[in-house]
Amino acid sequence: MSPVPAWDADATGPATYVYMAVADHIALRIAEGELPAGTRLPGERELATQYKVALGTARRAVQELRDRGLVVTLPAKGTFVKAPDGPSDS
């Protein structure tokens, strides 16, 4: 596995929503093992600071990761990387 390149907001391109680009970057970090299952993601405010985006953008990125099934948010605990689904027995 190669290291995930650092976040570059300028590399998102004009046709990409910033929240999708942030979600894609975090998803890549998960896929590359940089954020293994069980890892707690930083809070939304911290993500917004790290990625230099608005709080609403960070929230939408986390929601996108939930929609993709990559993370789960536990109230009053935080957002955690989910374990990958195992092979199905069908």
- Asked if residue 3 belongs to a domain, the reply is no
Residue 81 near residue 41 (C-beta atoms within 8 A):
yes
- Asked if residue 86 belongs to a domain, the reply is no
How many separate domains does the chain show?
Answer: 1
- Range of the structural domain that residue 72 is part of: 9-81
The 10s digit of each residue's pLDDT in 25-61 is 999 999 999 999 999 999 999 999 999 999 999 999 9
Distance CA 81, CA 90 (A): 26
- Asked if residue 45 belongs to a domain, the reply is yes
Q: At 3, is the pLDDT very low, low, confident or very high (cuts 50, 70, 90)?
A: confident
- Asked if residue 44 belongs to a domain, the reply is yes
pTM: 0.82
Distance CA 27, CA 68 (A): 9
- Asked if residue 72 belongs to a domain, the reply is yes
The 10s digit of each residue's pLDDT in 55-78 is 999 999 999 999 999 999 999 999
- CATH code of the domain covering residue 51: 1.10.10.10
- Asked if residue 55 belongs to a domain, the reply is yes
- Asked if residue 49 belongs to a domain, the reply is yes
